[in-house]
Structure 1
Amino acid sequence: MENNLTPINEDPFPIKIGIIGDTDLDTTISLQDRMEYAVCTPFGKPSDVIIEGLIDGVKCALLSRNGRLHDIMPTNINYRANIWAMRKLGCTHILVTHTFSSLRDNITPGDIVVPHDLIDHTTRRAQTFYDGAIGSPFGVCHLPMYPAFCERTRQHLLSAAQELDLTTHSKATVLTLEGPRYSTLAENNIYRSWGADLLSMTLCPEATLSKEAGILYAPIGLVTNQECWCAKQPISTTQEIIYVFKNKVAKFQKVLSKALANISKEDWSQDILKAKILVCSKFANRNI
């Protein structure tokens, strides 16, 4: 007799981890069964091809946020296409890397930070998939943003960095600027008064779109410089910021590899289901 029962140990939501980061993201990662895909989405093309493969046996999909030539400025990144492509490829998680500028004395260049909250100070970026345009999903999604990130996934990034004995900050609030310019001293002082600890040009709307896509998202970042509020040191040049990043990128990749290996060992079916239900329960349209 044919047995149609699902095996007890079969995961209804198989893990696949998207990794979005900076240029040269895949150069220090050992990727098996490598394949490159040009993914089409209702929102246009992602920043670059998506590289799929296995990292220590874990299914992963890698994407360079600014393009592999780093030729897309922060405002012009097609965040919606990037996240939709990850969703289309079946990613259950997205781990992301960012570079941060520090607004605090105790957070210094070279430190690793696993943020817990965000402030979106951008003005020119599409914030939602549900914008009423042709090809967009139907309805309006009023998505809660507390917590800002998947806490369970965030803890895996934090644990991985701590296991590697890297100087790591377990909490921080990141304010996303429009860019590509850096902020003024007066702006720095305003952001500090708002409770921001770090500045980024790319965290938003990537984080909110991932949540809207029902994907478990968590960021980890490298502090590359102090912002201009800090009179103790000269303002870093772009070349110095790039040097700090390239000097730490190998350790960064080790954190990601360790985190995704640990994530893959656990049962995430309830978390994945809750993330999808959260989105489905937050619609407002004439049929509700």
Structure 2
Amino acid sequence: MTHEPAAEVAVIGGTGFYSFLEDPVEHVVGTPYGAPSAPVSVGTVAGRRAAFLPRHGPHHELPPHRINYRANLWALRSLGVRQVLAPCAVGGLRDDVAPGDVVVPDQLVDRTWGRAQSYVETGAVHVPFADPYCPRVSAAVVAADERVRHGGTMVVVEGPRFSTRAESRHYAAQGWTLINMTGHPEAVLARELGQCYAAIALVTDMDAGAESGAGVGQEEVFARFAANLDRLRGLLATAIGNLGDPDGCTCSTWADGIELTYEVP
């Protein structure tokens, strides 16, 4: 007997983004990796069954380095989710982005440390990750709003502190566009589970080395994200309606013929 998935697409909410669905049904999901950030809410968006999970918890209890990323992605996959939209707050590193911009990056640089960043704990399983974001899902987001920018590199740092000016200037000098604290290992865990994943980055500030002044502060980040929540919700709903069938996407077919040493629910 086959069972219909509880949801086929998911939104992982970022800073200040703690709810998305109207009249959702909550699923408390246990995983081999512990508890996810919150119960998973499931409802209908644009005619599709959609799940929502706030990565920081319902009230932002979890700082970026304490989020159980493995449990979050595994919980969503166990409910049937194969496509993930991941809005997040980011700082801008270069003058080709500005606060208020929404960017769908196409590259990622990992500068985190100490996080469990893989389901692989034994054996030889090496996930291809040259292109960390799903081009199909990214295209659906870009098509949802002509103001959305496509392309750019997001560097992910450990946090929870913001960067020094020297660090920020170094990242900008590498040609990187955005800086964030939660984009890794979220993206690679989705790939290991065969999920299509795209980040949706809202620029809330210019990072410390990108301009003169006091540098970035928490109030500024939270306020900018809150001011753009309605816009993000509308963008996500339209993008979910734009999504195609993930069957055959290289995000999942990479594992064809490979004996995985971890469970994919």
After TM superposition, is the score higher than 0.5? yes
Contact kept, 8 Å, 1:120 with 1:177, in 2: the verdict is yes
* Residue-by-residue CA offset, 1:131-151 (whole Å, 9 max, x unaligned): 13xxxxxx3320111211110
* Structure 2 residue 171 is matched with structure 1 residue 179: no
The match for 2:251 is 275
Structure 1 distance, partners of 2:87, 2:21, is 17
TM-score of the pair, normalised by structure 1: 0.84
The match for 1:88 is 78
The match for 1:108 is 98
Runs of 5+ unmatched residues, structure 2: none
Structure 2 distance, partners of 1:192, 1:56, is 38
Could you say what secondary structure the match of 1:61 adopts? strand
Contact kept, 8 Å, 1:142 with 1:282, in 2: the verdict is no
The match for 2:230 is 250
* Residue-by-residue CA offset, 1:220-258 (whole Å, 9 max, x unaligned): 110000011123454232112111110011001110000
**Which residue identity does 2:151 align to in structure 1?**
K
The match for 2:49 is 59
TM-score of the pair, normalised by structure 2: 0.91
User: Shift in Å at residue 37 of structure 1?
Assistant: 1.1
Count of residues paired in the alignment: 258
Structure 2 distance, partners of 1:237, 1:221, is 18
Structure 1 distance, partners of 2:22, 2:235, is 15
Could you say what secondary structure the match of 1:270 adopts? coil
Q: How does 1:45-56 map to 2 (within 5 A)?
A: 45-56=35-46
* Structure 2 residue 205 is matched with structure 1 residue 230: no
Could you say what secondary structure the match of 2:139 adopts? helix
Percent identical pairs in the alignment equals 32
The match for 1:31 is 22
Contact kept, 8 Å, 2:5 with 2:79, in 1: the verdict is no
Contact kept, 8 Å, 1:52 with 1:61, in 2: the verdict is yes
The match for 1:149 is 133
Structure 1 distance, partners of 2:160, 2:6, is 38
Runs of 5+ unmatched residues, structure 1: 1-11, 133-138
Contact kept, 8 Å, 1:131 with 1:140, in 2: the verdict is no
The runs of at least 4 aligned residues of structure 1 exceeding 6 Å deviation read: 12-15
User: Shift in Å at residue 191 of structure 1?
Assistant: 1.3
Structure 1 distance, partners of 2:113, 2:119, is 16
The match for 1:199 is 179
* Structure 2 residue 116 is matched with structure 1 residue 126: yes
Could you say what secondary structure the match of 1:85 adopts? helix
**Which residue identity does 2:107 align to in structure 1?**
D
